[in-house]
Amino acid sequence: MKGITEELLAKFRESYECDEKAKVLHSALAKTPMMDLAYDVSEGALLKGPFTIEVKTKGITAQEQSGRCWLFAALNILREKVAERCHLEQFELSQNYLSFYDKLEKANNFLEMVIENPKAPIKGQLMQYVLRGMTDGGYWSEAVDLIEKYGVVPKQVQPETYQSGHTDRFTDTLNRLLRKDALELRRLVSEGKNPYPRKEKMMGEVYRAECIAFGRPVETFDFTYRDKDNQFHEDRHLTPREFYKKYVGISLRDYMAVINEPTFDKPVGRVIAFHAVENMTGHDMKGLNLTQQEMENLCIAQLKAGEAIWFACDAGAAGARKDGVWDPKTVRYEDLLGGFSTAMEKGKRLEYSASSANHAMLLTGVHLDEDGKPDRWKIENSWGKDVGDNGYFVCSEAYFREFVYEAVILKKHFTKEQQEMLEKEPVYINAWDEDY
């Protein structure tokens, strides 16, 4: 079959007209969201209930209409340290503060990649990748670089604005500006001129636009709070970096991203690295590629030690947002559309762009079966309290194995062999080939 003929269409029509089940499904789908119909209440109920191991956290955050999940999850790890140190029931760090610098660094790296590759074909893979521009999205490595450079501040010091929670229009406009700047910079370099005086002015435009949309980042502030015992505390004239060192007080270099991506270009037991538009200039994304079982063992070890885990997954797969469940048996979109299968091996799914790590959250618990094996995982999401179980979600072990691609683990939980893997030279891949 090369083309669609009238005979073939007639065959398809006849097959559909004889399929009473398909007609019933059409009637249901005509008036009901797919997510509501795809959810199997009985299967979902089997995933609810307490967890064998559970880490208590300080509440649900809401990223609103933005793609800052990775930053929310990273700051929620740090939030727990501040709350514990200061004896607080509730606490939140400013996502807007670091989001400002994230976009500034992404814009700078975008322009640097343009300058550093003046002869790269404009329709080649590299430049087409760069010209995608920036997004809200990011990775753990990126969060670490931002926090170490700029520190953190309490949310009340730099609160959200409407634009920080609804970023589509701003980001689209900024990318239009950057692409215009890319054209000018490539021309300057091709003419043998110094591009950096012009780049500085370009970055000044980006900074000004961000200040208008998100507010100018604070440089010093007073930290005031009442603890659980209603005792008042005040610490004056702190810089964001001083606050980070004093009230968070941990080294993020003690953590390492672990990935499970069984693709042909990522050997198991090696650190996989690449330089992305999302990075700061001079920094790379890195993750230690391990087997699925190794990643799960490390996650359980960290939860047993009382610490939540930053992780990344495919939130578009087998998910019911309202009910707070990710599970292939419970959420069955394929059955609604005729009962076909989308099953693929995990690695092949990544290679064929059928899945990706598109959402980051916190693992806060796991339930172990009678053999001590995980069968469901508790998740702290950043979609607010109106979905799931007051903002908390659950995923099955089947989902975890197929659609969880990255988890950030304290290196102290690594085996000796895994720690030795970190000493080997990283395997570098192209940024456009990354999957996590």
Locate tokens 């939130």: which residue? Answer: 315
208: Cβ contacts below 8 Å, ≥ 6 apart = none
Locate tokens 């606490």: which residue? Answer: 91
- Please state, in angstroms and as integers, the Cα–Cα distance from residue 263 to each residue in 101, 343, 347, following that order: 33, 16, 5
Residue pair 261/269 in contact by the 8 Å Cβ criterion: no
- Report, in angstroms and rounded to the nearest whole number, the Rg of the chain calculated over CA atoms: 24
Residue pair 287/259 in contact by the 8 Å Cβ criterion: yes
CA distance 140 to 128: 24
Residue pair 314/380 in contact by the 8 Å Cβ criterion: no
Residue pair 331/320 in contact by the 8 Å Cβ criterion: yes
- Please state, in angstroms and as integers, the Cα–Cα distance from residue 303 to each residue in 100, 294, 363, 377, following that order: 31, 14, 8, 11
CA distance 94 to 220: 14
State yes or no: is 381 an active-site residue: yes
Residue pair 135/167 in contact by the 8 Å Cβ criterion: no
Phi-psi region of 244 (alpha: psi -120 to 50; beta: other; left: phi over 0): alpha
Picking from 259, 312, 269, 305, the residue whose alpha carbon sits closest to that of residue 415 is: 269
Q: Which of 275, 283, 359, 413 is catalytic?
A: 359
Q: Which two tokens stand for residue 7?
A: 């005979």
For residue 232, give the H/E element and its range.
strand 232-238
Backbone angles phi and psi of 14, in degrees to 5:
-60, -40
3-state DSSP call for residue 235?
strand
State yes or no: is 69 an active-site residue: yes
Q: Which of 96, 279, 381, 413 is catalytic?
A: 381
State yes or no: is 279 an active-site residue: no
Report the catalytic residues.
69, 359, 381
